[in-house]
Amino acid sequence: MTDPKDRLTAPVPRRRFVEVLLGSGFLATVVAFLYPVWQYLIPPKASDLGGDSVVAGRVGELKPNSGKIFRFGERPGLLIRTADGQYRAMSATCTHLSCTVQYRDDLHEVWCACHNGMYDLNGRNTSGPPPRPLEGFEVQVRGDEIFVRRRREA
Ligand code: FES
């Protein structure tokens, strides 16, 4: 009869060691393959880090009839200074297939280069494939800073 102590202190056979090593390697390979597939199929929830209000720019930064892209949470926003000096802000994500739109100073309109979609200065879709207007934002100038925030639901 063998002593239980001898079994605990007996060296692990080489064959068993190789089996564990190969099994671990195979398991790691499977996890490394499946994790990106899992992340692709079930992406993490996007968090809107910007909250409801961001500083989109500074007074004097934009000359009349120009625009700039700013970061609004995880999405781009478009700040426009019209030819008569008013500020407008809207989402810069095209409502067609989510390309980033830009201000066209030659047309005085917002343009999506992906499929030639057009929006007016209020974000309304005017031509091309975009099915809906851009989300409009409120603009508030406080001191030297231009704040942009989501419109409150009435
Ligand atoms: S993605 Fe903007 S027009 Fe198609």
> 65-95: string of b/e by CB count within 10 Å (b at 16+)?
bebbebebeeeebbbbbbeeeebbbbbbbbb
User: Is 30 found in the same domain as 77?
Assistant: no
pLDDT at 42: 77
- Entry pTM: 0.69
Q: Tell me the residue ranges of DSSP E strands in 8-124.
A: 53-58, 66-72, 75-81, 87-91, 102-104, 109-112, 117-119
User: Is 98 found in the same domain as 77?
Assistant: yes
Average pLDDT of the segment spanning 53-78: 94
User: Is 141 found in the same domain as 85?
Assistant: yes
Based on the structure, what is the number of domains in the chain?
Answer: 2
Residue 48 lies in a domain: no
User: Is 79 found in the same domain as 29?
Assistant: no
- Tokens 């089996």 correspond to 19
Ligand 1 is surrounded, with C-beta below 6 A, by: 94, 96-97, 99, 112, 114-115, 117, 128-130
Residue 46 lies in a domain: no
pLDDT at 103: 97
What is the pLDDT confidence band of residue 74, given thresholds at 50, 70 and 90? confident
Cβ atoms of residues 110 and 90 within 8 Å:
yes
Pairwise pLDDT comparison (44 vs 100), residue with the higher score: 100
User: Is 89 found in the same domain as 63?
Assistant: yes
User: Is 128 found in the same domain as 61?
Assistant: yes
Residue 87 lies in a domain: yes
What is the pLDDT confidence band of residue 47, given thresholds at 50, 70 and 90? very low
Domain of residue 83: give its range.
Answer: 53-150
Tell how far the Cα of 59 is from the centroid of ligand 1, in angstroms: 30
Q: Whose CA is nearest to atom 1 of ligand 1?
A: 97
